Amino acid sequence: MFGKKTAKNDANGDLQDIGLRIASICGRYFLKSEHLHYGYWPPELAVELNNLPQAQQRYAEFLKSKIPASVKTILDVGCGTGHNASLLLDCGFAVDCVSPSDALSSATRDSLAGRGRLFQSTFESLDIDRKYDCILFSESFQYIDLNSAFENLTRFLNPGGVVLIADFFRVPAEGTSPLSGGHRLNKFKEALAKSDFVAVSEDDITDFTAPNLQLVDEALQQVALPSRDLILDTLRRRYPWSFAFMRFWARLLFNQKLLKMEYKYFSGERNADNFKKFKRYLVYVLKRKSEA
Ligand SMILES: C[S@@+](CC[C@H](N)C(=O)[O-])C[C@H]1O[C@@H](n2cnc3c(N)ncnc32)[C@H](O)[C@@H]1O
């Protein structure tokens, strides 16, 4: 271990780990893809599940295009299955990974195949004495504590180095967002302004990442919802008394949570249009103010 976990990270992290592990198992089996990110969907690429690996490959290429030629060493923070790291290693970079996930660590080690180190830790608790030319966050910055993020970046970034952040942020919009996740964009900008860093480039790729939500919505409406209804119907018919008893207690104890889950996953609102309304997917290259 290269850092200690906090109780809060343990509680949230377990659920997140399971979700990511399931996504990685499904991706690997059904799509032959190891990536855990949204992908990059140019207009000419049809939004179909079969095209997700191609969109994810394009995203990896887009990320690579943002890395300055001077970069030799990369720290991939929140590396998921380590697939981005593996592609970057193939391109000749020296890459190490940070991942707090127990569930993903064997997949990460497989991707690295001994070519880079895996520091099993959160970024907040990372305790290493190495520095890198580039610190990469691919859809992982939203999990990092904003209060300590920039201080830690200073610790692990070589002079002249860059921070590459590709992630979505929450923006103000009317109504309640059915999509969770992301730092508030104004909070991120405030924290950035107070830090030693400055953005040298900002790309808005919301329109190119939102199509992923169309696939998520289709999967929820066409697979998860009918499967859920079928299971509940079968239980209701086979075990009417036990079912009624369980439903009574579930509604009494967890009604708000159940309604929230129903809205979030099965209302059809978890879609590309709402992603564009409530989120901004931004790719930032940051440098130290003194070096920009
Ligand atoms: C959506 S996945 C992205 C994975 C990968 N970077 C990619 O682009 O496919 C989010 C990643 O962030 C990691 N993560 C979550 N909290 C973290 C933290 N506090 N410090 C470092 N990584 C974290 C998760 O374990 C997971 O690997």
CATH of the domain at 76: 3.40.50.150
Q: What is the mean pLDDT of the chain?
A: 89
Residue nearest to atom 13 of ligand 1 (CA): 78
Residue 91 in any domain: the answer is yes
161 is in which domain, residue-wise? 7-211+272-291
Residue 71 in any domain: the answer is yes
Distance 199 CA to ligand 1 centre (A): 22
d(CA 3, CA 119): 8
d(CA 182, CA 282): 11
Give the largest CA-CA distance in the chain: 70
Distance 76 CA to ligand 1 centre (A): 9
Any atom of ligand 1 within 6 Å of the Cβ of 122: yes
Any atom of ligand 1 within 6 Å of the Cβ of 209: no
Weakest-pLDDT range from 95-109, 132-146, 157-171: 95-109
d(CA 275, CA 186): 17
Residue 220 in any domain: the answer is no
Residue 37 in any domain: the answer is yes
Residue 43 in any domain: the answer is yes
d(CA 119, CA 111): 14
Any atom of ligand 1 within 6 Å of the Cβ of 77: yes
pLDDT at residue 21, as a whole number: 67
**Residue to mutate (ligand 1; options 38, 88, 143, 183; most atoms within 8 A of CB):** 143
Instruction: For residue 148, count other CB atoms closer than 10 A to its CB.
Output: 13
191: confidence class by pLDDT, cuts 50, 70, 90? very high
Distance 275 CA to ligand 1 centre (A): 20
**By the 8 A CB rule, do 212 and 38 touch?**
yes
Residue 228 in any domain: the answer is no
pLDDT single digits (tens) 158-179: 999 999 999 999 999 998 888 8
pLDDT at residue 8, as a whole number: 47
Residue 284 in any domain: the answer is yes
pLDDT at residue 15, as a whole number: 61
Domain count of the fold of the chain: 1
Any atom of ligand 1 within 6 Å of the Cβ of 140: yes
Residue 219 in any domain: the answer is no
Closest CA to 74 of 131, 143, 155, 142: 131
